[in-house]
Amino acid sequence: MKTENYTQIDKLDRKILSILTRNARIPFLEVARECNVSGAAIHQRVQRLTKIGIISGSQFIVEPKKLGYHTCAYIGIFLDNAALFADVSERLFKIPEITQCHYTTGQYAMFVKVFAKDNEHLRKVLAEKIQAINGIMRTETFISLEVMVDRQLPIIEETSEELKTGDK
User: In terms of Cα–Cα distance, which of 167, 110, 157, 163 is closest to 12?
Assistant: 157
**pLDDT confidence bin for 148, thresholds 50/70/90:** very high
Secondary structure (3-state) at 92: helix
Secondary structure (3-state) at 105: coil
In the chain, CATH 3.30.70.920 sits at 64-144
Predicted pLDDT at 165: 41
In the chain, CATH 1.10.10.10 sits at 1-61
In angstroms, the CA 131 to CA 79 distance is 10
**pLDDT confidence bin for 2, thresholds 50/70/90:** very low
1-61 CATH: 1.10.10.10
pTM (whole model) above 0.85: no
64-144 CATH: 3.30.70.920
In angstroms, the CA 143 to CA 118 distance is 11
